[in-house]
Amino acid sequence: MTSSQQRAELQRRIWQIANDVRGAVDGWDFKQYVLGTLFYRFISENFASYIEADDDSVHYAQLPDSVITDAIKDDAIKTKGYFIYPSQLFGTIAARANTNESLNTDLAAIFAAIEASANGYPSEHDIKGLFADFDTTSNRLGNTVKDKNSRLAAVLKGVANLDFGEFSGNQIDLFGDAYEYLISNYAANAGKSGGEFFTPQSVSRLIARLAMHNQTHVNKIYDPACGSGSLLLQAKKQFDAHQIEDGFFGQEINHTTYNLARMNMFLHNINYDKFNIQLGNTLINPHFGDDKPFDAIVSNPPYSVKWIGSDDPTLINDERFAPAGVLAPKSKADFAFVLHALSYLSSKGRAAIVCFPGIFYRGGAEKKIRQYLVDNNYVETVISLAPNLFFGTTIAVNILVLSKHKSDTTTQFIDASALFKKETNNNTLLNEHIEQIVQAFDKKKDVPHLAKSVMLEAIATNDYNLSVSSYVEAEDTREAVNIDEVNAELKITVAKIDQLRADIDAIVAEIEGDEVKA
């Protein structure tokens, strides 16, 4: 099955499940149940595959729970990070879901047992709370136990019918595609938490390539506002595993999205000891201070979100913000995320950050921060993208690429606003567009209407304005006009008007003469 066929089948199945539970669970809540079930299926199949170890004579799902010894369980948890008994596997539960009168409570008990299996082990933090948003007893599923079980069974059966073989053999990112499909269909009802800050896979690919550009290996990759982990995982897809030596790090403030990010790591076969996703406010309570610096940083932080800023007098002395001498405005934390990323960046690495365009030209504190970044030669490239690439917003965002190892004092500006393909509701970047942007980024050559490198002094003279449109001249797509031809046509037109006026005057004179005779 080709990737496009898999994707179409996936979307058809998901919509079918949606119809089965429609009326009881709105789209945004429904997303949690589908993704939670996908996760449950994946870790079940992944765990069974680990136990069977490619031995065709072993069928883990058919074994009685009683044959599992403490030694087997202990070894599995140390390796996989969790444990699932044969009776708890997704396939076992899904097979009898329609006739199980205690399905909702059985699922709740299984999820609690999977999470509890990691207690006291190094993976405890990575497993705890993974199923917190999969509330099988919620009234959102129905008012009676029968209603709840019926809808849960529909979701289980629907996910079970996603016949793509082994997850590792899929030609598409099953979880990522399901997530993006659900976002695109339900973001309109979900508000900011639903889709405004979700990074589409095409943009994620571009950001990952920019951050990892020309690096044969990086120590680790970090996203300070990681959402569901899509940016981190694009780095895994774009590059060989050995290029990211010490794993994937991220922090997320939203608890539901934090759980999705951890699920996403497991679903992409990243073991618990190769990722570290933390919950919390990156600007106020940052993690990973002992793990920095990072050779690659990717991020799509929330646009112009409010933060405590100058109301906390200690922040101006924070090592992340102190060098700039000023804090980002309380009403617009964009540059706080930028300075945080810069502080965590290694001397050989790059940070690629999605930014709201206003921060590149506004005055006040933001201008002072731009001056700090430019004067210290940290800004490698600013890229303007096409509008309407993101779900929930039509903003034409920018990508800011930071580096601490630039070989000269120029800053590159790339106008990629014309590089997109129009789709039903949103624009998208094709692979050819991504390649064109990356090539321009790599060559650092001036290309009319696309790319221009500007000396630091010129940027300073221009009030430290970093807007791409200030340096890359937009192509004039208006039709060329031949002035001589226009003038000739005007002369003919004027002559015709003069003749018409003369004819009218003659007619009027004739009418007036007839009236006098009468």
Whole-number average pLDDT of the chain:
88
pLDDT bracket for residue 28 (50, 70, 90): low
> pLDDT value at position 139?
85
Tens digits of residue pLDDT in 52-79: 998 889 999 999 999 999 999 999 999 9
Tens digits of residue pLDDT in 397-451: 999 999 999 999 999 999 999 999 998 778 899 999 999 999 999 999 999 999 9
pLDDT bracket for residue 256 (50, 70, 90): confident
> pLDDT value at position 188?
40
Q: Is there a cis peptide before residue 293, judged by omega within 30 degrees of 0?
A: yes
Cβ neighbours of residue 408 closer than 8 Å, sequence gap 6 or more: none
The single-letter code of the amino acid at 400 is L
Query: Could you give the CA distance from residue 9 to residue 30 in angstroms, rounded to a whole number?
Result: 19
Query: Could you give the CA distance from residue 451 to residue 468 in angstroms, rounded to a whole number?
Result: 9
pTM of the model: 0.86
Beta bridge partners of 382: 400, 413
Tens digits of residue pLDDT in 189-206: 444 444 445 688 889 999
Residue 9 pLDDT greater than 50, yes or no: yes
Task: Provide the CB-side half-sphere exposure for 214 (13 A, CA).
Answer: 10
Beta bridge partners of 350: 296, 403
Residue 110 pLDDT greater than 90, yes or no: yes
CB crowding 385-400: b at 16 or more within 10 Å, else e: bbebbbbbbebbbbbb
Tens digits of residue pLDDT in 267-318: 888 899 999 999 999 999 999 999 999 999 999 999 899 999 999 999 999 9
- Give the helix/strand (H/E) hosting 141: none
Give, to the nearest 10 degrees, the angle between helix 334-344 and helix 365-375.
Answer: 30
> pLDDT value at position 287?
97
Tens digits of residue pLDDT in 344-380: 999 999 999 999 999 999 999 999 999 999 999 999 9
